Amino acid sequence: MADTDMTTQTTTAATPGDATTATTAATATTTATTTDGTADAKTADPVVYGGFKVGDKEYGDKWEHFARVKAVAERLKLTPEQYQEFTTDFVKGLDDGQKAANAAQTAEIAQRTELYKTWGDELQKDAEFGGEKFKDTQQHAANAVNKLGSPKLAEALKESGLGNYPDMIRLLARVGKMMAEGEFHGKGGGTQSTASRMWPGLPD
């Protein structure tokens, strides 16, 4: 009887996890049995890593971290089950990191708020700038920044918190008061530059 080739083909379909759509382009493994009884196994095609689901939320290729997740999965040649486990851990890690960042930010805001309150209380008790004089102090300080500074300076004082620092307010209030009382005018009716009045040792 003449020898014949018998080819046995078995196909294994990738079964995604409960929440994954990672699929295989073709997961079939073909085993060819030759006339001499040897077997020739062909390697299965690679897994195609697509969108996935964690809990009730779906993550597709529009997700900002998708390309990164896909690249890692391809490099490690993860199975669909491993891909689901990896993406689940990745998303949970991001969530935990965000929660930690939010908690740290909340703590920082609370700390700054308490510090600004302490500074405000200190200034309110100042005999020269606080109490009934506090509103005038604020007005003089604001005038100094508006007339001698710039919007960028005002923004920097606000963002850095220096605009609440007692000694900074005292300095600006003194400058603003000098401006209001005309003390920036030099002898003989001339007007000195602001810099020369504040730092007389510097050349004009």
Q: Which two tokens stand for residue 73?
A: 């999965």
Higher pLDDT, 38 or 189: 38
0.75 exceeded by pTM: no
Higher pLDDT, 47 or 134: 134
Percent of the chain clearing pLDDT 70 (strictly above): 67
Domain boundaries, the chain: 12-27+44-114, 125-198
Mean model confidence pLDDT for the chain: 75
Which residues are CB-neighbours of 41 under 8 A, at least 6 positions away?
29, 30, 31
From first CA to last CA, the distance across the chain in angstroms is 114
Question: For residue 91, is pLDDT > 50?
Answer: yes
Say if residues 129 and 170 touch (Cβ distance below 8 Å).
Answer: yes
Question: For residue 80, is pLDDT > 90?
Answer: no
Say if residues 47 and 23 touch (Cβ distance below 8 Å).
Answer: yes
Classify residue 105 as exposed, middle or buried by CB count within 10 Å of its CB (0-12, 13-18, 19+): exposed
Say if residues 24 and 80 touch (Cβ distance below 8 Å).
Answer: yes
Using one digit for the tens of pLDDT, what is the confidence trace for 136-167? Answer: 999 999 999 988 888 899 899 888 888 889 99
